[in-house]
Structure 1
Amino acid sequence: MNGDDLTKEELLSRFLQLEQRVEELEQELTQKNKRIEEQNEQIEELEARLRKYENPHTPPSKRRSATPRSPTSDSDEDDDNVRTDGGTPGRNDGHDPEWRTVSDPDEEVEVTCDCCPECGEDLDESVGVSPRLVEEIPDPQPPVVTRYNRHCYECESCGTATVASHPDCPDEGQFGVNVIAQAALSRYEQRLPYRKIADRFEQLCGLELSGASAWHATERAARAGRCEYEQIRRHIQDADVVHVDETGVKRDGDQAWIWTFRTAEHTLYAVRESRGHDVPAEVLGEDFAGTVVCDGWTAYPAFTSNLQRCWAHLLREAEDVADDHKKGERIHRSLRQMYVGLQAWLETDPTVRERAQMHRSARAELTSLVERSETDGAVATLLGKIEGGLDHWLTFVGEPAVSPTNNAAENALREPVVLRKIIGTLRNDHGMFVHETLLSLLATWRQQGRNPYEELKRVARDNEMISRAQAVPVVEPSG
Structure 2
Amino acid sequence: MDLKPRPIVKQHTITRHWCGHCETYVKSKNIPDTSRIGINVLGYILYARYRLRLPLKKIQESLHDLYNFRISEGEIVSKLDEARTLFGEDYDAITLLIEEASHVYADETGWKMDGKNWWLWVFVTERGVRYVIEDTRGKGVAARALGLKEDRVIISDGYAAHKNLPGDKQQCWVHLLRVAKIHSPPLYEDLILLYKRLLQELEKKKEERDKAIFEKALALLIAKAYPQLEAKKVQARMQHHAGSLFTCLEHDGVLPENNTAERAIRLQVVMRKIFGGSRSLDGAKAHEVNTSVIETQMRQHPGDSFFDLMLPLLKRRRSEL
TM-score above 0.5, yes or no: yes
Within-5 A mapping of 1:73-152: 136=1, 139-146=4-11, 149=14, 151=16
**Correspondent of 1:437 among 258, 279, 289:** 289
Instruction: Give the 3-state SS of the residue equivalent to 1:303 in structure 2.
Output: coil
Q: Select 2:157's aligned residue among 292, 295, 300.
A: 295
Whether the 8 Å contact between 1:221 and 1:456 is mirrored in structure 2 is: no
Structure 1 letter corresponding to 2:319: M
How far did 1:284 drift? 1.9
Equivalents in 2 of 1:161, 1:451: separation in Å?
41
Cross-structure match for 1:341 = 197
| 1-structure distance, mates of 2:62, 2:190 | 56
Inter-CA distance 224–191: structure 2 relative to 1 (3 Å threshold):
same
CA displacement at 1:203 relative to structure 2: 2.1
Name the amino acid aligned to 1:336: I
Mapping of residues 383-402 of structure 1, within 5 Å:
383-402=235-254
Whether the aligned pair in 2 keeps the contact of 1:181 and 1:221 (CA below 8 Å) is: no
Shift of 1:288: 4.9
How does 1:166-245 map onto structure 2 within 5 Å?
Answer: 166-169=30-33, 173-245=35-107
Q: Determine helix, strand or coil for the equivalent of 2:320.
A: helix
Letter in 1 for 2:111: V
How far, CA to CA, are the matches of 2:116 and 2:26 in structure 1? 47
Q: Which moved more, 1:374-383 or 1:192-201?
A: 374-383
Whole-angstrom CA distance in 1 between matches of 2:100 and 2:195: 29
Determine what percentage of the aligned residue pairs are the same residue: 26
Q: Judge conservation of contact 1:308–1:393 (CA < 8 Å) in 2.
A: yes
Question: Please, which moves more after superposition, 403-412 or 295-304?
Answer: 295-304
Larger strand share, 1 or 2: 2
Paired residue secondary structure (2:242): coil
State the partner residue of 2:320: 466
CA distance in 1, matches of 2:259, 2:148: 25
Q: Deviations over 1:81-134 (max 9, x none)?
A: xxxxxxxxxxxxxxxxxxxxxxxxxxxxxxxxxxxxxxxxxxxxxxxxxxxxxx
Alignment equivalent of 1:286, drawn from 141, 148, 152: 148
Is 2:155–2:171's contact at 8 Å kept on the other side of the alignment? yes
Residue pair 2:172, 2:245 contacting (<8 A) in 1 also = yes
C-alpha distance after superposition, 1:197-234 (max 9, x if no partner): 22222222222221211221222122212211222222
Distance 1:415 1:218 in 2: 18
Please give the root-mean-square deviation of Cα atoms over the aligned residues, in Å. 2.7
Is 1:248 matched up with 2:110? yes
Higher Rg: 1
The CA deviation string for residues 419-478 of structure 1, in whole angstroms up to 9 with x for no partner, is 0001113111111111112211222222222332233322322222222xxxxxxxxxxx
Instruction: Mark the CA change 1:288 to 1:207 in structure 2 (over 3 Å): closer, same or farther.
Output: farther
- Residue segments in structure 2 that go unaligned for 5+ positions in a row: none
Select between 137-146 and 250-259 the one with higher mean Cα deviation: 137-146
The separation in 1 between residues aligned to 2:85 and 2:11, in whole angstroms, is 24
Higher RCO structure, 1 or 2 (CA under 8 Å, sep 6+): 2
Contact 2:104–2:154 (Cα < 8 Å) also in 1: yes
Distance apart, 1:291 and its partner CA: 0.7
User: How many residues end up aligned between the 2 structures?
Assistant: 319
1:379 aligns with 2:241: no
Partner SS for 2:142? helix
Match of 2:278 in 1: 426
TM-score, L = length of structure 1 = 0.61
* Residue in structure 2 matched with residue 122 of structure 1 by the alignment: none
**Corresponding residue for residue 115 of structure 1:** none
Does 229-238 or 380-389 show the bigger shift?
229-238
Cross-structure match for 1:110? none
Question: Would you say 1:311 and 2:165 are equivalent positions?
Answer: no
Q: Any gaps of 5 or more consecutive residues in structure 1? A: 1-135, 324-328, 468-479
Return the alpha-carbon distance in structure 1 between the equivalents of residues 318 and 268 of structure 2: 29
Shift in Å, 1:181: 0.8
Contact 2:184/2:230 (<8 A) preserved = no
Report if aligned partners of 1:222, 1:438 keep a CA contact under 8 Å in 2.
yes
Alignment partners' CA distance in 2, 1:405 and 1:141: 51
Deviation at 1:253, TM superposition (A): 1.5
